[in-house]
Amino acid sequence: MHSISDERNWLTWLVKVRILILMVLLAIELAVIRLTPSPLPILPFLTGMVLWFVLSLFFLFLVSVWSEHRLQAILQVLSDLAMVTLVVHVTGGIDSSLNFLYPLVIVVACMLLPRAWGYLSAALAFILFGTILELDYYLVIPSYASSHPKLKALQVVIFVNLFAYFAIAYLAGLLMSKLRQVDVQLKDASGALENLQALHENIVQSMSGGVITTGLDGRITLVNRAAQQLLEISEAELRGRSVADLFQDPLPHFGVARGDAEVRYLAVNGFRKTFRVMVSALNVSARGDLGFVYSFDDLTEIRRLEREVRMQDRLAAVGRLAAAIAHEIRNPLTSIAGSVSMLSDAPALNSEERALLQIVIRESDRLNNIITDFLAYSRGKQYRFERVNLIPLLQDTLTLLEHRLTAENAGIQLERSFPKSEAWVLADGDKLKQVFWNFCENAVRAIKTTKKGGTLTVALAERGPDWEMSFADTGPGLNQQQTEKIFEPFQSTFEGGTGLGLAIVYQIVQAHEGKVWARSEVGKGTSFVVRLRRLEQGATVGTSSASASAGAALAAAGAGAGGGSHG
């Protein structure tokens, strides 16, 4: 049987078709009356048609307000049989050309109701048609027939219609039974197809790797959940875009070499990610290639760790080198500087010779400062970890820097963004001040190179379990290669710099089991970011002192949170 929504749709369709048929019949009969001499009584005919039309409108209203669709179907079938009988009577009875409406009602009964109702409607049609013909024949009611056949002929007509009605009921019932079976099979097949489609979609959506499908034109047609998370963009924003425009490097081509490649992707938050992308053809055996499937994995963390390991190896080598040669150079350098200083006091020297000796003294001092940085980098460091608030540390550093910039009239503005009044961490406050001052000093020197002033913005925010501090300048910025190597020794971009300041910063942050990286773009400035584990305000920790050499700090970094450039 039909569902409730199907029954309602069938009833609505039946009413609309009935109204259409009534209008057509009315037009045809009126045309016949007008164009040919016909004994058809106009007033009874019009009365019957109007009554039938009003009933149809009533049934149309009833469908929308009454939920008993089975009873409505029975009422419509019975009323249709009665109205067909009335119309057949006023259009001539045995001579009526509208007795074909009985089979239509029988077919409708087979469509809307169980098969037994088809036979019942056929029996009712036979009874009503036979009754109206018998009453006309015996003049019990007014007759509108133009011919008066004999009783036997009349009985033959009646029983021929009986056979026809039951034959129609049988055939219509058989056809509707087959149609219902096909409908059930179709629904089962449709349900199985939907389940299969849902299974395939769930498989694609449940994959841990990103999957993107495109048409032959490269336009995106499907994006699974993992791809949306990796790209940090919703499917609605990605659908219809060219897949090649998403990445900064060319994508692999199907059928060429290995069919995979490493590409870079710039996320909406400014982070650059690295993906390994593989491509294959989206092939349907009956239709050929319909597009391409791109599957990709995030290699960002792996590549970052590889860079960090390489940097740690370099840092360890530099530390060993510094420890080995710093003292050997400093002792003779001190002797040279002392001897030159004594020579500069000799009265026999002229002004040119004194100027040369001053150059030697200045260069000796500069070399001594470099060796001091070496020793600071390689010497074991003492850390005093305690519960500290980052806000006062940042404010102290920025206040000192602000006074210095004001005195120098550097034209550099400082902006603070501290939405919190407290930001507690377990750290060595003095070492963190050294980190903050180094970042600020680098930012000021970068802005000064532009010779037109600028802004240093220092911000602090919560990022999950960490506090994140950023030092963003409006300087000339760095290219990707410089950004990736900025925490390595001897990578200074400033004239006269040793390139050890940020390497020492890296050691300090690693000793705190934090993360540090740089984001930069040429022409758009540089931003240094530090993350330290957040300490809840109510937590109590004891003060501890630790001595960490360069190698120990690097070991802690390898076992801890890790840092390095996230460029």
At 549, is the pLDDT very low, low, confident or very high (cuts 50, 70, 90)? very low
pLDDT at 52 over 90: no
Distance CA 444, CA 212 (A): 44
The alpha carbon of residue 524 and the mean position of all alpha carbons in its chain are separated, in whole angstroms, by: 29
> Which tokens sit at 193?
């197809």
Which alpha helices (H) appear in 409-479, and where do they start and end? 429-448
Distance CA 506, CA 558 (A): 12
pLDDT at 85 over 80: yes
Among 511, 515, 482, CA closest to 499: 482
**29-33, 87-91, 175-179, 417-421: least confident range:** 29-33
- State pLDDT tens for residues 482-498: 887 788 776 666 665 55
Residue 71 confidence (pLDDT): 83
The average pLDDT across 103-111 equals 83
Q: What is the 3-state secondary structure (H, E, C) of 301-312?
A: HHHHHHHHHHHH
Distance CA 199, CA 205 (A): 10
Distance CA 519, CA 125 (A): 88
**130-144, 154-168, 186-200, 442-456: least confident range:** 186-200
Residue 552 confidence (pLDDT): 40
- State pLDDT tens for residues 488-527: 776 666 665 556 778 888 888 988 989 999 988 888 889 9
Question: Contact, 122 vs 184, CB < 8 A?
Answer: no
Q: For the chain, what percentages of helix, strand and coil (3-state, to nearest 5) are there?
A: 55, 15, 25
The alpha carbon of residue 145 and the mean position of all alpha carbons in its chain are separated, in whole angstroms, by: 75
- Name the residue with tokens 């026809």: 164
Amino acid symbol at 546: A
The average pLDDT across 359-365 equals 78
> Which tokens sit at 540?
């109590």
Residue 542 confidence (pLDDT): 54
Question: Contact, 475 vs 442, CB < 8 A?
Answer: no
The average pLDDT across 452-477 equals 90
At 6, is the pLDDT very low, low, confident or very high (cuts 50, 70, 90)? low
At 456, is the pLDDT very low, low, confident or very high (cuts 50, 70, 90)? very high
Strands of the sheet containing 424-427, edge to edge, are 424-427, 381-389, 544-548
- State pLDDT tens for residues 294-337: 888 888 888 888 877 877 777 677 667 766 666 667 667 777 77
The average pLDDT across 413-422 equals 89
Residue 493 confidence (pLDDT): 63
Among positive and negative, which fits the CA dihedral 45, 47, 50, 55? negative
**CB under 8 Å to 221, separation ≥6 — which residues?**
213, 214, 215, 239, 291
Phi, psi torsion values for 409, nearest 5 degrees: 50, 50
Residue 70 burial (C-beta neighbours within 10 Å; 0-12, 13-18, 19+): middle
More confident residue, 549 or 480: 480
Residue 188 confidence (pLDDT): 78
Residue 1 confidence (pLDDT): 45
* Residue 505 CB coordination number (10 Å): 23
**128-137, 191-200, 384-393: least confident range:** 191-200
Average pLDDT, the chain: 79
Percent of the chain residues topping a pLDDT of 70: 84
Q: Of 7-21, 36-50, 115-129, where does the model show the most confidence?
A: 115-129
Distance CA 554, CA 83 (A): 98
Distance CA 4, CA 115 (A): 18
Tell the CATH superfamily of the 208-298 domain.
Answer: PAS domain (3.30.450.20)
Residue 540 confidence (pLDDT): 56
Residue 59 confidence (pLDDT): 76
Residue 467 confidence (pLDDT): 92
Residue 547 confidence (pLDDT): 47
Q: Which fold has domain 382-559?
A: Heat Shock Protein 90 (3.30.565)
Residue 391 confidence (pLDDT): 92
Q: Of 196-210, 213-227, 283-297, 378-392, where does the model show the most confidence?
A: 213-227
- What is the CATH code of the structural domain delimited by 304-376? 1.20.58
pLDDT at 453 over 80: yes
Percent of the chain residues topping a pLDDT of 90: 9
Distance CA 469, CA 105 (A): 82
Q: Where are the domains of the chain?
A: 4-188, 208-298, 304-376, 382-559
Among 376, 381, 384, CA closest to 427: 384
Angle of the 115-137 helix axis to the 69-90 helix axis, nearest 10:
20
Length of the chain: 567
pLDDT at 367 over 90: no
